[in-house]
Each structure stands twice: as C-alpha cells, then as structure tokens.
Amino acid sequence: MKSHSKISLDRYIARPVAFLLNFIVWPVGKFIAVDHDDAPAKVKTIAIAKFLGIGSILRSTPLARALKQKYPAAKYIFITTLKNKPLVDNLPLFNVCFYIRDDSIPTIFIDVVGLIFKLWASRIDLYFDLEVYSAFSTVITTLSFSRNRYGFYIANTDFRRELHTHLVYFNDYQQISRIYLQFARACGINNQDLAMEKPVLKDEHLAEFSRTLGKNKLAQDIPYIIVNPNASDLLLERRWPMEYFVSLLESLAQNWPHPIFILGSEDERNYSRVLLEKLSDKAKQNVFDLAGEISFGAAMVFINKARLVITNDSGLYHVAASFKVAIISLWGPGRPEHYADTDSKEDSFVFYSSGIYCSPCIYRTDFPPCRGNNVCMKSISPKEVYRKASQLLKVDALADTSEMERIYEAQKNKKFDIIIKHPGY
C-alpha cells in the first residue's frame, strides 16, 4: 500500500474513531481515577511504537537507551510494521517486537486485532507513541490500555487530547532525537546523549556481503563508494535529479578506480536500473547496481564498510550515520537541522538549499507545493557535490565538469518556474 493511501485511511477512518474514543475514554477515566504519576514506582513493561520510517526508528534509540538506564529490569517491546523488521531485529535494545502488515486493509485489520490482544497480555506500564500526526497510532495506543500513554501534540491533533495521559509538544525546529528524549524527561530522565544505536551485523549478512563481492569478481578488502539515488514514496521529491546522479557517477568513475555500488530496495529497483542505463559504457565498468538484489542486512554491511556514502534524505542516510561512515547527504523538502546529525564532522557534509521559499514542505503539506518540480533539490550543484566527494576520498578532482555545469544550468534556468496554486489547476 502506498504512503498516500495510508494517509487517507488515517484521516478518513482512524481519525473519526479517535474522536469517538475521546467520548468514551474521558468519562471512564474520570470514573476509574487511575493515578498517572510521571514516574511510577514499579515499571515492568515499556512499549515504543513507530510504524513508519527507518530513520525515525534509528533516531529513537537514544530514547530507548535512556529509559533502560532508569528501568533496567523492565521488558522492552517495539511496535512497527513488518517492512521494518530487517532493521528492528538487528537492534539489541528490545526484548520483543510486534509487527503488523500494512500492505492492504484486510491484513492491517487482522494484524491490529492480534496486536491489541498481545498488548493486553503484556500489561504495559509506559507506552510511547512516536508518531506525530497519526490517528491510527493514537487508536492503538489507547486500546493498549497502557497505564501511562505518551504522545506528541501539535496543531490539528485534538483527537489525542483525552487519549494520551501525557502530551509533549513536538517542536520541529529541534533535532528529532532530542525531541524523542522529551519523553524521557517526562519520566524524570535528563539524558542528552543523541548517539544512535548501531545495528548488529549478523553472520549471514556478512556472508552475503562476501558472496556479492565474489559474484562481481571483487576483492574482499577493496575500497568502494555507496550511492543511494532513492527516497521513499512518502515524498519522491526528496530525490536529487537522476541526471545529476548520472553526471556525478560519470565524473567519479574518471578519478576513482574502485567500485561504486548503487543501493535501494526491491521497489526502487526499476528507478536504479534506468539510472544505470544512462551511464556510459566506461562508467558502467565501475558502477554496480545492487538495488533489490541484496537483503537489507547485507546493505547495512556494505554501508558500514564503505569509504563514502552519497545519499538523499532517506532511511539509508540514518543507517550510514549510525555507523559513523563518511557521508554526503542531499536535502531539500526536509530540513537537515531537524533530521540530520547536527554535530559537525570533517568526514560528513550536508548539502541543503536553504533559500528556497517552499522548503521545508515534508510533513507540513499533503502535497509538495512544487508538484514534482523539486527546485530545492535541483538547486544543489552536481559539480559541488563532486568536488566535496573528491575531497573526502582524498583524490584529485580531475574530471571535466563542463557536462555537469551544462545539466545544472539547464535545470537552473527553469527551476523558478514553480507556481504555488490550487492543486486542482
């Protein structure tokens, strides 16, 4: 199921249900009069729920770690969708994980019913709902019957008013891990450690990594670059233009004599294939497309061992950041101050065109104002990205950049054609 379909279901089905639950929960809560003390004396079970976003899950690990410092004997449950299983299963912070499928309405209904029974059996003391806008997650949180239910509030989330026992203001001008740690503060924990937990690289994934190199007749210790030209369908406008990636790969192949691997999911395979076909025969000798060809676990191994990762704002960016590898990240619809690492590092660099009027737009609109003409991403010069990559790789930027400049100027001349108007026009 596409992201926009999930948003529609959340808005037109889950939100009315959430408002209805307010009229039930409020009088029942007044009658029962449960003590929702901020720091219960005994906490046996803690649940953290984040249904969407690999990056958000990784950025939530400082919260889980802070909670474990105060409640080391508690059982920790993580709740998410099945597609996030390859990541969550490799995070050592949780005792058990509950997954739901989100590929169709029937599977969502069946798995949610099963999840509710599991949550009742778990008798949860503290439940942390990390979704910001979702009525669906609010309904699950409420029906869990957890003693203390923590959630975010912003404008247009009045449906949460009587359903969460503790509401924390979501300030999107703060870094996301710092925002999540406000839940820890609500439990009396003052911890500002924003470091993400590193996923565990399992033996089978290391073996798959080795097999993939052998299949492509590459040495096990060969240095290489990772390029991720993809972004989730939540907002495809986060993708740097394909023509820019093509020109960048052409130039890197001229002065980087080692492999360049393209990563992506199975759903992103076709997009990566089109990009690969646009490369010259000479560049194709060094560029290997692994999108949809390897497991997520093997992709994490490739990222962990990379000399440099060049990526859009996506889940793979956060994986690379958790392993502290050198990264060039490309931002436009999202603000890097909100979702990227804020501490300056010599081996990482953020490209962001902050002067574009409609940026940031992700999470703030139902559709991007540019309607696909992502001027924020088109404003990031491929020539500058190439120079920064050469600097981080410690190689001379010897490639002819005239083609990069031609492509960039062609986009630049029309990039301000953006017209913000009614979506029906």
Of 186, 211, 240, the position where a domain reaches its end is 186
- Whether 212 and 173 map to the same domain: the answer is no
- Whether 224 and 315 map to the same domain: the answer is yes
In a domain, 425, yes or no: no
- For the stretch 156-190, pLDDT in tens is 788 888 889 999 999 988 999 999 999 999 998 98
Q: Give the domain range for residue 59.
A: 3-186
- Whether 263 and 296 map to the same domain: the answer is yes
In a domain, 423, yes or no: no
- Whether 237 and 156 map to the same domain: the answer is no
The predicted model gives 111-119 an average pLDDT of 96
Q: Is the pLDDT of residue 418 over 70?
A: no
In a domain, 401, yes or no: yes
Packed helices 135-143 and 105-122: angle between N→C axes, nearest 10 degrees: 40
DSSP 305-341: T-SEEEEESSHHHHHHHHHT--EEEEESSS-HHHHS-
- Whether 67 and 153 map to the same domain: the answer is yes
Whose tokens are 């559709």? That residue is: 367
pLDDT at 422: 47
pLDDT at 29: 58
In a domain, 193, yes or no: no
pLDDT at 162: 80
- Number of structural domains found in the chain: 2
- Whether 301 and 402 map to the same domain: the answer is yes
Question: How open is the CA angle 375-273-51, to the nearest 5 degrees?
Answer: 65
In a domain, 194, yes or no: no
Of 121, 154, 186, the position where a domain reaches its end is 186
Neighbours of 27 (CB within 10 A): 11
Model confidence band, residue 425 (pLDDT cutoffs 50, 70, 90): very low
pLDDT at 362: 85
Look at residue 350 and give its three-state secondary structure: strand
- Whether 92 and 148 map to the same domain: the answer is yes
Write the CATH number for 277.
Answer: 3.40.50.2000
Exposed (0-12), middle (13-18) or buried (19+): which is 249, by Cβ within 10 Å?
buried
Q: How is residue 11 annotated by DSSP?
A: I
In a domain, 166, yes or no: yes
- Whether 306 and 396 map to the same domain: the answer is yes
In a domain, 229, yes or no: yes
pLDDT at 18: 86
- Whether 172 and 228 map to the same domain: the answer is no
pLDDT over 90 percentage in the chain: 65
Top-confidence residue, 182 or 415 = 182
Q: Is the pLDDT of residue 374 over 80?
A: yes
Cβ atoms of 180 and 49 within 8 Å: the answer is no
In a domain, 257, yes or no: yes
- Whether 263 and 313 map to the same domain: the answer is yes
Residue 166 Cα distances to 43, 69, 81, 158, angstroms: 16, 21, 24, 13
The predicted model gives 24-53 an average pLDDT of 75
Flag the least confident range among 103-107, 146-150, 268-272, 406-410. 406-410
- Whether 31 and 139 map to the same domain: the answer is yes
Of 186, 216, 246, the position where a domain reaches its end is 186
The predicted model gives 273-290 an average pLDDT of 94
Top-confidence residue, 7 or 249 = 249
Neighbours of 12 (CB within 10 A): 10
Neighbours of 92 (CB within 10 A): 9
What does the mean pLDDT of the chain come to?
89
- What distance in Å separates the CA atoms of residue 6 and residue 31, rounded to the nearest whole number? 35
Q: Is the pLDDT of residue 416 over 80?
A: no
